[in-house]
Structure 1
Amino acid sequence: MLAVFGKMIANPPVELSLPFKGSGDLKTREEIASIFGLDQPDSTWYKFCNGDFMALSNQDEYATCPRSVVIDNIFCIFNGYLRNTCDLRRRYGLSRQATEAMVVVEAYKVLRDRAPYPADQVIKELDGKFSFVLYDAKAAKLFLARDRDGSAQLHWGVLADGSLVCSDDPKIVRKGCGDRYTPFPPGCLFKSEEGLISFDHPLNKVRGVVREDDEGFSTAVIFQVDLFTRLYSIPRSGSDANWSGITVVEGEN
């Protein structure tokens, strides 16, 4: 999977944009889309009017259990599996045919429509090995998460214009972002209006720790929970809407 969102929507952590030594040739969003399209020609693309997009290879997707879903202008790409899907279907009033991606969308709608509601409590309910990228096109909000063990791949970085890149394939992210990429931290969620949060330690700050070489040049950044720094509060948000147009394209980059 591949997702690219501009700074106005994604608002990526500043540590991802640090000028690392040997960062390489940063690509544009058009260039990384071309790279993904050549590597995964059989893909479904969701293209938004502001130039942002999401893409998913159809190679490993089964018609009976799709990894992507679009519900009420909410786009979700899910990677991995949930052990407690049946329990979550009952909790959210979904049918037995509801996939993991549908469950995630319903969980997000609880956060959006029943605020204030802590996002960490919702993600804690997901038991499994998973990562996902969700975009609410109507509210122009981005939502990412990865399981506690980091069993499901998810990497993120920034392009030449500062756009955020997310993918389960680190090779794709590295080709687009050079060294300005890192694994998405396990046990964490990211919401564009709230930033990076640990869903096991929601009251502790998640910091970007910059690694330096012997000459003092930054070489990489790793995000981890700072158990010694507590947040005063967790910001809440409403359900403000800002419509964006969408185009869904099958098998095109």
Structure 2
Amino acid sequence: MLAVFNKSIGKPPKELSLPVAGGNCSNSSPQEIAEVFRSWRSDSTFYNLSSGNFLALSHHDENPAHPRSIVVMDDIFCIFSGVLHNTCDLRRHYGLSRQATEAMIIVEAYKVLRDRAPYPPDQVVKGLEGKFAFILFDSKASVLFLARDRDGCVQLHWGTAADGSLVCTDDPNVISASCGNRHTPFPPGCIFISGNGLISFDHPLNKVRGITREDAEGNISAVIFQVDLFTRLPSIPRRGSASNWADATVVEGE
């Protein structure tokens, strides 16, 4: 799976744009990334959105234990990779039929958060039992929503394109070819929401920091995102508006 969103929607953490020593120094444009993915994945299906944003799905080299699927409902696009172990409970909870897939469940969970917001998004993702990663985009609200299970069982990588766009994929070769030396694994147990930034769903009130590691010569050898248990984020009082579901929990740290 692949998704590319311009930085006005998928504003990545600044640490994600730091070059890591030893890698390819050249990152590609969104158009070049799309061309490379098409050439490598002849079975891929593209979903072109406004402003050059796009998602793509391929079943090439798919792990049978972590199948990929996509659903488009009410102008919401969701690519899901992996499996949920509590689908029956989730279907009942969201009033869905027995035929509802994992991707459909994620879309319905997002719609409940967006429209009614009875509890913060970290609580919803925390209730997903299984091995998964997903990329969701609400084209009407221009909201991007990413998540990965807490054990990191399903691959998800993110990086920046040449124009600063956010690139997300489950393929390490695609992210390396697309982003050069400006990419890193998406942190397990975290969610990323447009406007909110990166949040741990186990520690939603603690800041998730981008930590740089340096080699003996002082060059950045890796960028790793992890929870800072000593830095808490300020909470925002709920205002009851359906439009502020995403920012009802925390604000993005500086």
TM-score by length of 1: 0.89
Query: Aligned pair in 2 of structure 1 residues 116, 7: CA closer, same or farther (>3 Å)?
Result: farther
- Give me the whole-angstrom Cα distance separating, in 1, the residues matched to 2:33 and 2:237: 33
| Equivalent position amino acid for 1:83 in 2 | H
Displacement of 1:19 after TM fit? 3.6
1:239 corresponds to which of 240, 243, 247:
243
1:214 corresponds to which of 213, 216, 229:
216
Deviations 1:64-107 (A, max 9, x none): x8710000000000000000001000000000000000000001
- Give me the whole-angstrom Cα distance separating, in 2, the residues matched to 1:175 and 1:163: 15
- Give me the whole-angstrom Cα distance separating, in 2, the residues matched to 1:130 and 1:120: 15
Displacement of 1:213 after TM fit? 1.7
Contact residue 20 and residue 220 of structure 1 kept, 8 A: yes
| Equivalent position amino acid for 1:44 in 2 | T
Contact residue 5 and residue 163 of structure 1 kept, 8 A: yes
Written as runs of structure 1 = structure 2, the 5 A alignment for 1:63-74 is: 67-74=69-76
Tell me, yes or no, if structure 1 residue 90 matches structure 2 residue 84: no
The share of aligned pairs that are identical, in percent, is: 66
Gaps of 5+ in 1: 241-253
- Give me the whole-angstrom Cα distance separating, in 2, the residues matched to 1:69 and 1:235: 33
Pick which of 152-161 and 53-62 moved more.
53-62
Displacement of 1:44 after TM fit? 1.2
Displacement of 1:235 after TM fit? 8.0
1:229 corresponds to which of 228, 231, 234:
231
Displacement of 1:184 after TM fit? 0.4
Q: Which residue of 1 aligns with 2:252?
A: none
Displacement of 1:61 after TM fit? 10
Contact residue 159 and residue 166 of structure 2 kept, 8 A: yes
Q: Which residue of 2 aligns with 1:46?
A: 47
Give the match's secondary structure for 1:50.
helix
Give the match's secondary structure for 1:110.
helix
Supply the RMSD in Å over aligned alpha carbons. 1.9
Query: Aligned pair in 2 of structure 1 residues 234, 210: CA closer, same or farther (>3 Å)?
Result: farther
Deviations 1:4-42 (A, max 9, x none): 000000011110012433551111111111111111111
Contact residue 44 and residue 58 of structure 2 kept, 8 A: yes
Give the match's secondary structure for 2:243.
coil
Gaps of 5+ in 2: 245-254
